[in-house]
Amino acid sequence: MQNATSFTVYRSLFAAVRFFYENGPRMVGLSVVWFLCSLPVVTIGPSTLGAYGAILSLREEQAFDYDRIRTLLGRHGLSSVLLTGLPVLLAATGALYVRRYFATESTVALVLAVVTLYAAAYAALVLIPTFVELANGAPLEQSIRSGIRWTSANAVGAIAMAMATLMLFVLAGALTVAFVLVFAGIAFSLHLDVLAPTVAE
């Protein structure tokens, strides 16, 4: 994975939009499938991992490699559920501490709320490079370590990528149907272009 800056994220956003446009019907189909498969919520992890694998295969082979996607999910499907559950659990814990702070004005509750919410945000940022590594065929432990190292070494780039993803989420969500049709395709193409540009070329 390459280092990232705000500029590379900005450039990758346009590259992701162009890639989506060039592969319109397939990318729209991928976005719709991702949305439907993510509706149970607990399946967001496997759905996202599968989407990364699908886009990687489309970049490399100009077609979706369904065998590759099935193998990827068979190997790391359960792990992706557990990985996506971590930031959710931390965020829920942080929300409870926030509620406790407003009820009691306890300094300890405030400190714990800040710590757990920060940990939740950091865990969410680490998930993106971790999933990209998994989609590229790396083992689970190596992918997690790579995700942590990349996020720590590229804090500005990681935050810029998260903000760009949030912007896409808000814009697509405001258009309602557009969220289903385009969000996953553009957002995950953005992540892959930032983290694996050699694949994107």
Q: pLDDT, tens digit, for every residue of 135-175?
A: 998 999 999 999 999 999 999 999 999 999 999 999 988 88
- What is the mean predicted confidence (pLDDT) over 126-132? 95
Q: Please answer whether residues 171 and 23 qualify as being in contact, where contact means their C-beta atoms are separated by less than 8 angstroms.
A: no
Say yes or no to pLDDT of 17 above 90: yes
Q: What is the pTM (predicted TM-score) of this model?
A: 0.90
Alpha-carbon dihedral sign for residues 195, 141, 136, 20: negative
Higher pLDDT, 51 or 201: 51
pLDDT band at 196 (very low <50, low <70, confident <90, very high): confident
Say yes or no to pLDDT of 66 above 50: yes
pLDDT at 197: 60
Q: Which residues of 42-66 are buried (b: 16+ CB within 10 A; e: fewer)?
A: ebbbbbbbbbbbbbbbbbeeeebbe
Q: Which residues, 6 or more positions from 140, have their beta carbon under 8 angstroms from its beta carbon?
A: 76, 79, 134
Say yes or no to pLDDT of 198 above 80: no
Say yes or no to pLDDT of 199 above 70: no
Say yes or no to pLDDT of 104 above 70: yes
- What is the mean predicted confidence (pLDDT) over 109-138? 94
Q: Please answer whether residues 54 and 193 qualify as being in contact, where contact means their C-beta atoms are separated by less than 8 angstroms.
A: no
In whole angstroms, give the CA distance from residue 198 to residue 201: 5
Q: Please answer whether residues 183 and 197 qualify as being in contact, where contact means their C-beta atoms are separated by less than 8 angstroms.
A: no
